[in-house]
Amino acid sequence: MPPPRTEALKEQLFIWEGKDKHGKQMRGEMRAGGQAMVQAQLRRQGIFVTKVRKRYFIGGQGLRQQDLAVFTRQLATMIRAGVPLLQGLDIIGRGQTNLALGRILQQVRHDVATGNDLSTALAKHPHFFSPLYCNLVAVGESAGVMDTTLDRLAVYEEKALALRNQIRSALMYPSAVMAVALVVVAVILIVVVPTFKDVFASFGAELPWLTRMVISMSESLVKWWWLVLAVLVGGVFGLRMLVRGSQPLQFALDALVLRLPVVGSLIGKAMVARWTRTLATLFGAGIPLVDALGSVANAAGNRVFSQATLQIQRDVSTGQRMTLSMESTGAFPPMVVQMASIGEESGSLDQMMGKTADFFEAEVDEKVKGLSSLLEPLIIVILGVLIGGIVVAMYLPIFQLGSIA
């Protein structure tokens, strides 16, 4: 009889507190299959555990991309200045105002002090340090160029942060205005329109079709507001669950986003900038092209580019030139393919991809400025149609009554 199969324990995040051999109070986070495994692992490290609890969510102040970029730049500066790694981690940790990052750095410093590589210590916190980040640190450690690698990583994080902020600033204003407009429309339909309805009932005349339509919408919203709210919330969560469980649907939605008018072009240029910046950082750090493409696919941020990158990786692994594969996918603008071709022929692929990323980041910046000026009149028109249409519908019967009189 074959032995029974045992399922692998699902790792969870635990917060622990304890004391080291010298009685110094310590605390940190660890991923393990259970509390007993946390205690056993810490005992092997010479730590007497006093408290272990499961973290169900990342509470409190989390680690923002800005915090990660600043930390990377600080560590790169200290290592370049000749400060020992442990001392640098200690200085940065003690100067942190972000409590979450301070706790992480304390754990990372302890792991490094007990003989682990920095990349291994960082990889124990996957919620904060991505595999791409840890892989680059590992390359710097193995090649003995940690300062140069961290400089590249700091530039990458800073550029990615700036690009993300540009996209967010472009979409935040119209999103906020439209959300406020929907709230105002709902308040008008629920509170204001019923008052007009009682007044119109005393007229004894047939109401205009626009007024009847608005009153019907108001009655439905007042009577079934809970159903409308449940359908909206349930629809959002249901769509998210459906998208998460269907890779073809995820790909279709990402492709649709890139085809949206105005916004799609902006997002597409941002994805290209991120793709080229990531490839330039990885390849420039000494990671082989095939391995670098695998990491780029995971960090692309859009499944259209992810699948195209995986196809490029397969073609390159069989000996095909990268630019020929890039052109066949149809996901990249001609300029990107041409710059990559020049980089391949001259042996400066990382520099060409870096220049391409600079160009597209500047393009995104210009498009963000143009998008803001374009969306403002469009938003005014939409608000005028929504709110102005309701106001006109409510006053049409009064105007008609005045003309009859």
pLDDT tens string 241-258: 776 777 788 888 888 888
pLDDT, tens only, 130-184: 878 888 888 888 777 788 888 888 888 888 888 778 777 777 777 788 888 888 8
Q: State the pLDDT at residue 93.
A: 82
CA distance 339 to 125: 36
Question: For the segment 190-220, what is each residue's pLDDT rounded down to a tens digit?
Answer: 888 888 877 777 766 678 888 888 888 888 8
The reported pLDDT for the residue numbered 250 is: 80
The per-residue pLDDT for range 222-231, each reduced to its tens digit, is 888 788 888 8
Looking at per-residue pLDDT, the higher value among 107 and 263 belongs to 107
Encode pLDDT of 358-391 as tens digits: 898 888 888 877 776 777 788 888 888 888 888 8
pLDDT value at 94 more than 50: yes
Q: Using alpha carbons, list the distances in angstroms from residue 29 to 36, 48, 104, 287.
A: 14, 15, 7, 30
> What pLDDT does residue 29 have?
65
Q: What is the pLDDT of residue 13?
A: 65
Predicted pLDDT at 338: 92
